[in-house]
Structure 1
Amino acid sequence: MIKSDIIHPELLYALAKCGHKTRILIADSNYAFVTNSPKDATIVYLNLSPGTVAAPLILEKILHCINVESAALMACPQDFINTIEAEYLHLLPESCHIEHLAREDFYAEAKADQTLLIIATGEQRRFANLLLTVAPVM
């Protein structure tokens, strides 16, 4: 029996394939998982129902399995209060570079060949998509 924070077989398998510079997208429930993903990416569906499983919980558990070099969020309007961004910043290591990309730039980066894993969440908050770049083992 696996003794880990993550026991989902497909997720563990996909994480094991992610090396340095590979990208992992934690996608909110509004994301077009199939059309805005590279054709060879693995999509792991953890979106059981609206609001579950939440994206910050998934990030928290993934950070026990991989190191993160950088992260990208979709830029949101200046008057939008992005509560999930604060949760992500609290979880990500201080050394993690955070970038905000315009919508089309974010989609282009998420659809790049380096994105090997898409995790579909039930996260309902807007602008909750988080694109992680895997760091080398330290």
Structure 2
Amino acid sequence: MIKSSIIHPELLSILAKCGHKTQILIADSNYSFVINSNPRSEIIYLNFAPDMLNATDVLNGVIQLINVESTSMMAWPDDFDNTIHSEYVRILPQGTEMKFQEREDFYSTAKSPNTLLVIATGETRRFANLMLTVGAVK
């Protein structure tokens, strides 16, 4: 039995394959990850039911296993109160760069060959998609 806070075998296997600059998408339940990600990306389905598992729980687990060099989120409308953004900032290591991309640019990033993993969550908050870029081992 593995001694880790993450015990999902497929997720552990794919995370072990990630190298520096690999991208990991934590997708909310509204994201069309099948058509808006690299066709060679591995998809891990953790979207059992609405808000199970949510994106912040997944992020908390993933950052225990990899270093995060930078992140990006899809830009949201000015009149939208994106509550998950501040939660991500609080969870990520202090000083982690976060970029904001327009919708089509975010989709292009997700479709790039660097995106190895898509984690489908049950997160119901809109604009909660988070792209992680794996950092080097410190």
Instruction: Tell me the distance in 1 between the aligned counterparts of 2:49 and 2:2.
Output: 26
So what's the TM-score if we normalise by structure 2? 0.98
Alignment correspondent of 1:3: 3
Instruction: Tell me the distance in 2 between the aligned counterparts of 1:31 and 1:128.
Output: 9
Instruction: Tell me the distance in 2 between the aligned counterparts of 1:83 and 1:52.
Output: 18
Do residues 18 (structure 1) and 13 (structure 2) align?
A: no
Instruction: Tell me the distance in 1 between the aligned counterparts of 2:118 and 2:64.
Output: 18
User: In the alignment, residue 37 of structure 2 is paired with which amino acid?
Assistant: S
Superposition deviation, residue 95 in structure 1: 2.6
Instruction: Tell me the distance in 2 between the aligned counterparts of 1:33 and 1:73.
Output: 15
**Equivalent residue of 2:31, what SS?**
coil
Superposition deviation, residue 39 in structure 1: 1.2
Gaps of 5+ in 1: none
User: In the alignment, residue 40 of structure 1 is paired with which amino acid?
Assistant: R
Matched-pair contact (CA < 8 Å) for 1:69–1:133: yes
Matched-pair contact (CA < 8 Å) for 1:69–1:95: no
Identity of aligned residues (%): 58
**Equivalent residue of 1:36, what SS?**
coil
Gaps of 5+ in 2: none
Q: Give CA deviations for 1:78-110 in whole Å, capped at 9, x if unaligned.
A: 111100001100001113110000000000001
Q: Which moved more, 1:30-39 or 1:6-15?
A: 30-39
Task: Give me the CA root mean square deviation.
Answer: 0.6
| 1:1-138 correspondence runs (5 A) | 1-138=1-138
Matched-pair contact (CA < 8 Å) for 1:56–1:87: yes
Superposition deviation, residue 13 in structure 1: 0.5
The list of structure 1 runs, each at least 4 consecutive aligned residues, that deviate by more than 6 angstroms after superposition, is: none
Matched-pair contact (CA < 8 Å) for 1:46–1:122: yes
Superposition deviation, residue 26 in structure 1: 0.1
**Equivalent residue of 1:64, what SS?**
coil
**Equivalent residue of 1:88, what SS?**
helix
Q: Give CA deviations for 1:37-82 in whole Å, capped at 9, x if unaligned.
A: 1111100000000111000000000010000000000000111110
So what's the TM-score if we normalise by structure 1? 0.98
Q: How many residue pairs are counted as aligned between the two chains?
A: 138
